[in-house]
Structure 1
């Protein structure tokens, strides 16, 4: 191979976006600008630092949002099932099971849960 093959410019999309943002003044007056980074940013795992920063910023992972939606939906279905309002509940259980499958694909493996059935909706809602 020739030397030019290794020295070809590559497309750096994120770098280009940041450079354009900086040119338009977007990087001026950023929070914490000019202050040193805390020492714990330089030790340990990068992913753990990302998780801490994301948590401090109020970010919730997609699977956690799904978990809350599933819990609320199961609680509502269980209440209606106990009160005898059984119309269209099977359809809602099917929709919740679709969310559970999506949840299981994105959550940590120890937190995965099985699909639910209308007959066991009360005990299933307590697990969530």
Structure 2
């Protein structure tokens, strides 16, 4: 069985592999403080990528800011349920009612 390294092959065949920025230099202390998952998120964020749950978070906050009647809350709560299914557990939010609207609106604005 032969080991295949497709990324390594691409880099070997690329003429630009010798011109990689930072080649041969030690990794920064900031990089070494983060685990792989944190580093991925930083690189993705710096590249402009937003996870779907953050896009939903922004959409929900915008919908709450433009709410014209409490009848629209049903549609917003559908988005909140979708958000809660795909976001990390500590970012989950409660459904919005007429009673908790003002408090929840502030929480969504600050997230």
What range is the shorter-chain TM-score in? 0.5 to 0.7
Higher Rg of the two aligned structures? 1
- TM-score, length basis structure 1: 0.56
**Structure 1 residue 72 corresponds to structure 2 residue 62:** yes
Equivalent position to 1:105, from 77, 85, 102: 85
Unaligned runs of 5+ in 1: 1-7, 82-88
Unaligned runs of 5+ in 2: none
Cα 1:69–1:121 shift into 2, 3 Å: farther
Cα 1:62–1:30 shift into 2, 3 Å: farther
SS in 1 for 2:45: helix
Aligned positions, number: 107
SS in 1 for 2:96: coil
The structure 1 segments of at least 4 consecutive aligned residues displaced by more than 6 Å after TM superposition are 15-20, 29-36
Equivalent position to 1:127, from 88, 107, 111: 107
Question: Quick check: 1:74–1:121 contact (8 Å CA) kept in 2?
Answer: no
Cα 1:18–1:94 shift into 2, 3 Å: farther
Q: Write the distance in 1 (CA, Å) between the matches of 2:95 and 2:44.
A: 30
SS in 1 for 2:66: helix
- TM-score, length basis structure 2: 0.63
Cα 1:35–1:111 shift into 2, 3 Å: same
